[in-house]
Amino acid sequence: MRRIKQIGDWVIPIVVGLVMALIINQFFGMQVIAGSSMSPILRNGEVVYRLNKAKVRHNTVISFYAQGIEKNQATTAKTIYVKRVIGLPGERVKYTAKGKLWVNGKLISQNYLSVYQQKQGTLDPQASYPEAAGVKIFENKEFTVPKNSYFVLGDNRNISNDSRYYGFVPEKKVIGVVRAPFWAAKQVQVNAAEVD
Enumerate the active-site residues. 37, 83
C-beta of residue 129 within 8 angstroms of C-beta of residue 72: yes
In angstroms, the CA 169 to CA 163 distance is 7
Query: Which distant-in-sequence residues (6+ apart) come within 8 Å of 145 by Cβ?
Result: 87, 88, 89, 90, 91, 92, 93, 151, 168
